Structure 1
Amino acid sequence: MSGLAHVPAAPLRPLVAHAYGYRAGPMPTGVHRGLPSGSLTLVVELARPMHVTGLASDVTAHAVVGGLHVAPAFIDATGEQEGVQYALTPPAAHALLGVPAVELSGLTVDLADIIGPAADVLVERLAAAATWSERFAALDAALLHRLGDSLPRVPPEVAEAWRVLFATGGMVAVPDVARHVGWGRRHLTERFRQSTGLTPKQAGRVARFQAARSLLLLPARPALAEVAVRCGYADQAHLAREWRAMAGCSVTTWVREELPFVQDAGAPGGRDSAP
């Protein structure tokens, strides 16, 4: 798989954690696992309609949006793949798509179900583009057209809680996070969920999972027992249970089947911006 990173237009940068174009042949297993992360996903797949299963909704479309989730999405990789993927911060759901992030939580949906016929126009423009630069420019232009004059306001307490959870790899307990931002745990949980689509506990799980994934991507990959300790899991068995729940397979299966795909793509390893 080959990948090309893109820096979006300046007004979009608070809303787009990272962006890249990709081109790949069929995977030997026929399936690519979409792992939980701190970003929503917007994909425009040009080779053929993208088929995604595994979450609360299945979808087959050229343009797909995925909300935050704590279980794997399974993407049909039996054929050629080529397109553009933007990782969106939670506020981008409302600012660019017109729906709050909580309404997309745990879902994959056809972009046309959110923005209507404009989704088909977008796919056609990207398909007609002659270069990657033209594709990125077309998607940036479409998103800028939808961007309002001001960004959605996220409570500063939620933004700080998000920052702490991901900056520490999920190794701070939710009650401690609540005390840090000056809210009660129950109030933080509800306001956090409304703003992001995840609870603080779920976000902490995703942050730990991302930290473990980052270690597995290192050229000198640590032993799994060390990964578990460094990422705050109780032990290697705890890491194994969480990995299976969030990736849909064992760590060793993911390393064997998915790691070459991820490394060859040069895809970002899960950078997260505060909501």
Structure 2
Amino acid sequence: MWQRNRTSLADFMLEGLFDDSLPHLFLFSLTMVVFLIAVSGNTLTILLICADPRLHTPMYFLLSQLSLMDLMHVSTTIPKMATNYLSGKKSISFVGCATQHFLYLSLGGAECLLLAFMSYDRYVAICHPLRYTVLMSRRVGVMMAVMSWLGAAINSLIHTVILMHFPFCGTRKIHHFYCEFPAVVKLVCGDITVYETTVYICSIVLLLFPIILVSTSYFCILHGVIQMRSAGSKRNAFATCSSHLIVVSLWFGACIFSYMRPRSQRTPLQDKVGSVFYSIITPTLTSDLYSPE
């Protein structure tokens, strides 16, 4: 029994994102530049919103939470990948893998929910501007942020605890650059069909609710914009929504690609490409697209 517990708590091996070839060295350098842009951009966004009293509104409060999520997201995955690449090591401890899995899943789920709430904020700002301070008070904004963080954390904790309690076998090599669920679950010994089905259903719910809310909000926004008589008002409305729509499209597109495909159609390369979008590219774009004016 003790030997089995020691085996279950053994280190994992991360395949990584790059090898030692010259083209991959260039791609690694490019990735680190993008990482630094994401960290600096999101940090500056948070500091600017906190320092400027004019930005102490629900809209910018939600934006600061989104920037915080993106900042934590890139910090959860990229530093470990870079450390392993530069040191030549590929190991990650059992606790480290569980922690990484919990954090990235929590942050991903929280961002899905927060983006949905932000679409409602856009709807109120455009379609009900006179009632904005009532419908989107500071209290409502805080409640949205708390619901996003707490709901995603509970969901992630349940999945992480169950997953890491399964026995792992084989070489314990994760064909990914961090401990993402689809890559880790492939190492589990035994039949986990029921668990995978449960995770699949939870993923649908976690993605379906935000997508429905976003779609409903923008349908109402489009209907309200069509009824506007001023061309300037229409341009301002589209400008207000354009950055959010771009981030939503990239984020949910990558999440659907990564989590809604059947296991039989997954390949390690496809999983890595999808993860690069929502763990590196989207957090980098957030600070640029949403930069406070």
Structure number with higher strand proportion: 1
Structure number with higher helix proportion: 2
TM-score (norm 1): 0.26
